[in-house]
Chains A and B, each alone.
Chain A
Amino acid sequence: MSDTVIKVENLSKQYRLGLVGTGTLSHDLNRFWARVRGKEDPYSKIGDVNDRTTKTDSDYVWALKDINFEVKKGEVLGIIGKNGAGKSTLLKILSRVTTPTTGSVRMKGRVGSLLEVGTGFHPELTGRENVYLNGAILGMRKWEIDKKLDEIVDFSGVEKYLDTPVKRYSSGMKVRLGFAVAAHLEPEILIVDEVLAVGDSDFQTKCLGKMEDVSKNHGRTILFVSHNLPSITSLCSRALLVDRGVITLSGDTSTVIADYLIGNTRKNRYSNLDVKDNGILSCSVGTEGDVYTPVGLPTVVDISFKVEKSIKDFGLALIVTNENGSQLLSSEINDCLNIKDLNLEHGKVLNARVTIPSHFFNLKCYKFRISLGDNLSGSILDSAEFQVNYSYKMSNLIYKHRKKADLVPLFKWDLLD
Chain B
Amino acid sequence: MAKQENWSTVIRPHSGIFDIDFQEIWKYRDLLWLFVKRDITTVYKQTVLGPLWFIVRPVLTTLMFTFVFGKMAKVSTDGLPHIVFYLSGVTFWGYFSECLNKTSNTFTKNQGLFGKVYFPRIIVPGSIIFSTFIKFLIQVSIFLIVWSFYFSKGQVSPSWQIALFPVVICFMAMTSLGFGIIFSSLTTKYRDLRFLLGFGVQLWMYGTPVIYPLSAIPKEYVDIVKWNPIAPLIETMRAGFLGKGSFDWNMFVYSGIFAVVIMAIGIVIFSRVEKNFMDTV
A: residues with CB less than 8 A from B are 2, 7, 15-16, 20, 24-25, 28, 92-111, 113, 115-116, 119-120, 122, 124-125, 129, 132-133, 136-142
Contact = CB atoms under 8 A, between A and B. Distances in A.
A97 B117 contact: yes
B117 A136 contact: no
B189 A120 contact: no
Contacts of A120: 113, 117
Interface residues on B, range: 35 or more
B118 A133 contact: no
Contacts of B45: 124
Given A98-B278, A125-B38, A106 B9 contact: yes
B31 A99 contact: no
B223 interface: no
Contact of B13 (A7, A99, A132): A99
**Which residue, B12, B112, B189, has most C-beta atoms of chain A within 10 A?**
B12
Contact of B28 (A99, A103, A105, A136): A136
B165 interface: no
Nearest to A94: B11
A99 B117 contact: no
A97 B189 contact: no
B5 interface: yes
17 contacts: A2-B3, A24-B189, A95-B118, A96-B9, A97-B117, A99-B275, A100-B13, A106-B7, A108-B6, A108-B9, A113-B117, A119-B112, A129-B37, A133-B34, A133-B38, A141-B27, A142-B30
- The B interface is mostly helix, strand or loop, or mixed, namely loop
Contacts of B34: 132-133, 136, 142
B75 to A, nearest CB: 42
Given A96-B118, A136-B31, A20 B189 contact: yes
Closest 3 CB pairs of A and B: A96-B118, A136-B31, A106-B7
B51 to A, nearest CB: 15
Contact of A99 (B41, B112, B276): B276
Contact of A139 (B12, B35, B119, B276): B119
Interface in B229-259: none
Contacts of A113: 117-118
B36 to A, nearest CB: 11
Contacts of B7: 7, 106-108
Contact of A141 (B12, B30, B35, B117): B30
A101 B28 CA distance: 27
Nearest to A102: B13
A106 B4 CA distance: 13
Contacts of A136: 28, 30-31, 34
B8 A119 contact: no
Contacts of A94: 11
**Which residue, B3, B10, B31, B278, has most C-beta atoms of chain A within 10 A?**
B31
Given A125-B42, A136-B30, A136-B31, A97 B118 contact: yes
A269 B220 CA distance: 86
**Which residue, A25, A106, A129, has most C-beta atoms of chain B within 10 A?**
A106
A266 to B, nearest CB: 34
A124 B42 contact: yes
A197 to B, nearest CB: 15
A294 B38 CA distance: 62
A24 B190 CA distance: 9
B50 interface: no
Given A125-B42, A142-B30, A97 B116 contact: yes
